[in-house]
Amino acid sequence: MKPIFSKSMVLLTIILMDLLAGMEFDLFVPSFPELQSQFNLSPFWVEALLSVNFAGYCLSLFFVGSLADRYGRKPIILLGLMVFIIGSLLCLGASFYEFLLVGRFLQGVGISAPAILSFLIIADAYPLKQQRFLMGILDGLMNFSVGAAPVLGSYIALYFHWRGNFMTLLVLGLMTLVMTLLFIPTYKLPKHKETLSLHGYAPIFQSKPLLLLIVHIVFGFVPYWVFVGMSPLLYMEDLGVKLAHFGYYQGVLAFIFGLGSIIFGLILSRYDQKKTLYISSQILIVGLISLVWVTFQDSSNPLLITLAFLPFIIARIIPSIILQPLCLNFMPQAKGRVSAILQGGRLIFTALCLQLAGYFYQGSFQNIGIIIITFILLTVMTLFFVINNRELMNFSQT
């Protein structure tokens, strides 16, 4: 019973890390209008609370990847969680906007470790086929948390205002820290100590198939998070959606992605992966067409905008389950660094696009939609290259 209990608690702790990572971005987003009013902020500076979080995440993750490959996963996760808790305390007690910015930066610095390394605990312990199953479930649970976060955040903001959301993140951070300390094992360190210099990342950038895979995953990540980051201002400020209802518009997309990840994680091994990726590319094209139509109609209907975005969400389920484990395992000796580049690329592009969307935002979906459409088009193009890369497709069958 003891080994079974131990494995169960490890998985439960990883799930808690993923819930925290999923909610860290989304939980306080419904507080944007209140924060904008209290601190007298423009849309650009409201979005900066997301961008500075991304900046902190990106600054730390390259160190996190190298340190994890050198010193192991657990000590780096614990260090990251302690920094996250300090950032949460600063946000909770912020009486000036500048303190809030610093707190969000530290939250980004700290959350990078559990966000990047939780999946690597799975990748270290299981073969590739089992990883797809487990990562599909973890992806699903993370996206359930992303889906629940705006709903939960809306009600917390409604009754406890914006500080209530940061208190929730603080409590989750403390729980994750205790669980990690108690249940995550300390694995045997590799005999060969990886370099901590940037030169250690060179082999990753020299591998064309791996670089293609990373670029595709990064492009596929951007549209959803641009939508998540801009929708509070669009839906509540300009389309008239009430705070109590806002979370449902965002939550349904994450809920569908989460449910789909769990279902496909269970059954995907029975089907030809190349064919399923090709089907996903066709659904992506449908999503691209629906969003082009909504964007150039300049729709002001929040339900129509959400429904137009739905095919993209569905289309990203299968590539996420198949390609992320493939990416992490393609260069086994550098899993931490590959994960760092993958997450860093996602957030750098997202932060830039969010700031761009905030700068050009004029109270409608159109400018947001143009950015989203651009990255969906890039996602479709790179997915076709991935499907036709023999080295990647052959490795995925192992």
Between 395 and 176, whose confidence is greater?
Answer: 176
Written as six digits, the tokens of 398 are 């192992």
Q: What single-letter amino acid sits at 48? A: A
Identify the pLDDT of residue 86.
96
Confirm whether 189 is domain-assigned: no
In a domain, 58, yes or no: yes
Does residue 192 register a pLDDT over 70? no
Number of domains composing the chain? 1
Q: Of 254, 241, 50, whose CA–CA distance to 154 is shortest? A: 241
**What is the spatial distance between Cα 168 and Cα 256, in angstroms, rounded to a whole number?**
24
Position 236 in a domain: yes
For the entire predicted model, the pTM comes to: 0.72
Buried b (16+ CB within 10 A) or exposed e, 313-348: bbbbbbbbbbbbbbbbbbeeebbbbbbbbbbbbbbb
**Percent of the chain topping pLDDT 90:** 25
Structural contact between residues 108 and 301, judged by C-beta atoms closer than 8 angstroms: no
Q: Please report whether residue 196 resides in a domain.
A: no
Q: Which residues neighbour 25 within 8 Å (Cβ) at sequence distance 6 or greater?
A: 50, 53, 146, 149, 225, 228
Residue 150 has pLDDT above 70, yes or no: no
User: Which pLDDT score is estimated for 386?
Assistant: 93
pLDDT of residue 288: 95
pLDDT band at residue 144 under the 50/70/90 scheme? low
Contact 36, 46 (CB under 8 A): yes
How does residue 9 score in pLDDT terms, banded at 50, 70 and 90? confident
The reply to whether 356 falls in a domain is yes
Average pLDDT over all residues of the chain: 82
Q: Which domain holds residue 247?
A: 2-184+201-396
User: Crossing angle for the helix pair 366-387 and 273-297, nearest 10 degrees?
Assistant: 160
Per cent of the chain over pLDDT 70 is 85
Task: Assess if residue 41 is contained within a domain.
Answer: yes
242 versus 378: which is more confidently predicted?
A: 378
Instruction: List the single range of 43-47, 68-72, 262-266 with lowest mean pLDDT.
Output: 262-266
pLDDT-based confidence at 197, cuts 50/70/90?
low
Q: Average pLDDT for residues 70-78, to the nearest whole number?
A: 87
pLDDT reported for residue 88: 94
Mean pLDDT of 17-32: 79
Q: Place 1 in a pLDDT band, splitting at 50, 70 and 90.
A: very low
Confidence of residue 132 (pLDDT cuts 50, 70, 90): low
SS (H, E, C) 72-132: CHHHHHHHHHHHHHHHHHHHHCCCCHHHHHHHHHHHHHHHHHHHHHHHHHHHHHCCHHHHH
Q: What is the CATH number of the domain that holds 205?
A: 1.20.1250.20
Judged against a pLDDT cut of 80, whether residue 117 lies above it is answered with: yes
- Between 249 and 366, residue with greater pLDDT: 366
Q: Residue 191 domain-assigned?
A: no
Specify whether the CB–CB gap between 180 and 39 falls below 8 A: no
Does the pLDDT value for residue 89 go beyond 90?
yes
Q: Which of 21, 50, 20 is nearest to 35 (CA)?
A: 50
pLDDT value of position 191: 57
Contacts of 171 (CB under 8 A, 6+ apart): none
User: Quick one: which of 61, 129, 375 has its CA closest to 271?
Assistant: 129
Q: Evaluate whether residue 69 is within a structural domain.
A: yes
Residues 257-281: pLDDT tens digits? Answer: 777 777 776 676 667 778 889 999 9
DSSP 270: G
pLDDT tens digit sequence for 268-321? 666 777 888 999 999 999 999 999 999 998 888 989 999 999 999 889 888 888
pLDDT confidence band for 68 (50 / 70 / 90): confident
Q: Which of 44-58, 134-148, 361-375 has the lowest mean pLDDT?
A: 134-148
Mean pLDDT computed over 43-70: 80
Q: Is the pLDDT of residue 134 over 80?
A: no
Q: Please state, in angstroms and rounded to a whole number, the distance separating the CA atoms of residues 140 and 123.
A: 17
Contact (CB, 8 A) for 205 and 211: yes
Question: What are the pLDDT digits (tens) for 95-113?
Answer: 888 899 999 999 999 998 9
